[in-house]
A and B are shown apart, each in its own frame.
Chain A
Amino acid sequence: MSESPLAAPAAAPAGAGAEAGFRRLHPFTPVLRGWKIFAAAFAIGLQQAYGDISFGWLLTAVALSIPVGVVYGWASWRATKYRVGDEDLRLETGVFRKRSRRVRLDRLQAVDVVRPFIARVLGLAELRLEVAGGSSAEAPLAYLSEQDALRLRAELLARAAGLHHETPEAPEVVLLQVPLARLVEATVRSVAVIGSVISLVVVVVVAIVVGEWSVLTFVVPFGLTVVPVTVRQILAHFGFTVAESPDGLRLRHGLIETRSQTVPPGRVQAVRIVEPWLWRSQDWVRIDVDVAGYVGENQNRAATLCPVAPRAEALQVLARVLPGVDIAAVPLTGVPEQARWLDPVAWRQLGVGADERVLVTRTGRFTRVTDVVLHEKVQSVRLTQGPVQRRLGLASVHLDTTPGPVNATAEHRPAGEARALVDAEVARARVARAAARPDRWMSPPGGSATPTVTR
């Protein structure tokens, strides 16, 4: 963050509330939030207008609702206040129904700074605090000025780490950058895109040969589905940068809407390494992570650690995310031949293995998927056996982690071995939990949770 002020005191920005320590959001907030609502209302109204309402009525309705919206937006902005304390962030919202929320900083899972296009034009940003167990971002601070957002992020992370809140933002080391050419090539190298292009060519050829131009209408669905999805993916992952700092992992990406994520140490619950079939010739992989705060719609956008990278580079990043873990060194054992009846395509690829830190499962014939779960992050261990599995003497072991893309399941193990795996995993998880680092990652392990002042 080039513009982040070093050792800047946490000065109250403009519009500081009357109560001690409470601050307000940026005064442009209602404008930025309001225009979307008006645009949506206008769009809906316009659709209706094709039917029975005349355009003039529509304009009148919109014009009348503007002052109401402005007053409500202003009142809502007045009512929203936040305060950062040593232990928590307090957020007060609501015009009619007041709501006061307290977020424990030692339970902070991630801090994201999101800048939608219009916010960027106005120099604003949204700060999202992710905590475990919510259905969406628990305390979104939308919108702050960019400097305030960055300063507040540094302050929150310092306090969450157990440091003094005026500690300057930690320095970072860039681990990985995804060049645009590779990103585009990787996105296009997907079965969906290539399949669509081939069928598109077929349609055009048929149209030319037969002379039946109406066939070309099949092009429309292609334009409406595959193209936007592909373009959106490239835009979202544009300029993907992974950096590491004492605050944790920092991810920055996006062209139109930029997103800058900070995941503190020890917040990554599990990791998934995906190797699509069409990437294999380049030896590229994608890495997804489970972070407890990233749920709901946020999960898809935020849970990517690395959209595409050569395997060696990706494993280097992983080694920083999961220190002391060497995934390649974990020996995997396959499944017996009976498993072919249940998974005729991929049974040879199924495997599971564990060392002192992680359990690794592998599956997938065409798109190979490797799931890695830290023992200390396992929530519960399950053993299941369906009727066919029982006949074949097989059973499956599931490691349950917080919601996210990772789903570590060791399918179709020999039944006795599966139960032994469950018992062993429970024992390993217990040992690992006892040795886990504290929530406040800068405080000494095993020590008290009170914040220390030195870095």
Chain B
Amino acid sequence: MSDAPLRHAEPFDPPGEPWVRVSPRLATLRRLLTVVGGLLGVAVLTAVAWLIATWLAVVVAIAGLALLVWVWVAVGRRVRSWGYAERAEDLLVTQGILVRRLVVVPYGRMQFVDVTAGPLDRRFGLATVQLHTAAAATDAQIPGLVPEEAARLRDRLAARGEAGAAGV
């Protein structure tokens, strides 16, 4: 590498400035969804187990609740793993606990930017920004943004994309 830039101690370190993290409300929303769904599932399984044997029901209930606690913690870690950084020429997005990912998208390569917010997202004041390039493999999605930040990011990305646009 002739122009070797900054050395990074860790491969997923931020590019100079720290990562901008997403809203912790995303964790609340996702925990709510998994807990509601999970409790229902545990209840049904426990009831089925009850028909077979009482001790089995106890085992199923304890295992199910333990799993839910683990999911509660894992969702928090997963949401905290999202981060993005706007640089002069490109946007960096990182995510993932088990499989870690980092994507660098030059502004000039952006084809369009999507902002989406489902009904529950809106209730929680959240929105998702997704960048699309001419490559299908580009996986640059930032969930859990407050709507103002999502709109600001969209406009800024669009403006910078316009300035640096190149043909395919």
| Residues in B whose Cβ lies below 8 Å from that of A132 | 134, 168
Q: Number of B interface residues at 8 Å Cβ cutoff, please give it.
A: 38
Q: How far is the CA of A385 from the CA of B98 in the complex (A)?
A: 8
What's the nearest-Cβ distance from chain A to residue B105, in Å? Answer: 5
Interface residue? A109 (CB, 8 A): yes
Interface residue? A400 (CB, 8 A): yes
| Residues in B whose Cβ lies below 8 Å from that of A292 | 134, 168
> Which residues of B (110-130) have their CB < 8 Å from a CB of A?
111
Q: Assess whether B138 is in contact with A400, with CB atoms less than 8 Å apart.
A: yes
User: Chain B: which residue is nearest A401 at the CB level?
Assistant: B135
| Residues in B whose Cβ lies below 8 Å from that of A385 | 11-12, 99-101
Interface residue? B152 (CB, 8 A): no
Q: Assess whether B11 is in contact with A415, with CB atoms less than 8 Å apart.
A: yes
What's the nearest-Cβ distance from chain B to residue A426, in Å? Answer: 5
| Residues in B whose Cβ lies below 8 Å from that of A33 | none
Interface residue? A111 (CB, 8 A): no
Q: Assess whether B139 is in contact with A382, with CB atoms less than 8 Å apart.
A: yes
Identify whether the interface residues of B are mostly helix, strand, loop, or mixed: loop
Interface residues of B (CB under 8 A from A): 1, 3-13, 15, 89-90, 98-106, 108-109, 111, 133-140, 166-168
Q: Assess whether A427 is in contact with B5, with CB atoms less than 8 Å apart.
A: yes
What are 13 sample pairs from A and B whose C-beta atoms fall under 8 A apart?
A379-B133, A379-B135, A380-B133, A384-B99, A386-B98, A387-B98, A390-B100, A398-B137, A419-B10, A419-B102, A423-B8, A430-B106, A433-B108
Q: Assess whether A400 is in contact with B99, with CB atoms less than 8 Å apart.
A: no
Residue B5 contacts which of A381, A387, A423, A436 (CB distance < 8 angstroms)? A423
| Residues in A whose Cβ lies below 8 Å from that of B13 | 419
- Given contact pairs A402-B135, A426-B90, A420 touches B7 in the complex (Cβ within 8 A): yes
User: Chain A: which residue is nearest B15 at the CB level?
Assistant: A423
Interface residue? A418 (CB, 8 A): yes
| Residues in B whose Cβ lies below 8 Å from that of A401 | 135
Q: Assess whether A383 is in contact with B167, with CB atoms less than 8 Å apart.
A: no
Q: Assess whether B167 is in contact with A439, with CB atoms less than 8 Å apart.
A: yes
Contact with B along A376-405 (1 / 0, CB 8 A): 111111111111001000010010111100
What's the nearest-Cβ distance from chain A to residue B111, in Å? Answer: 7
> Which residues of A (414-455) have their CB < 8 Å from a CB of B?
415-416, 418-424, 426-430, 433, 436, 439
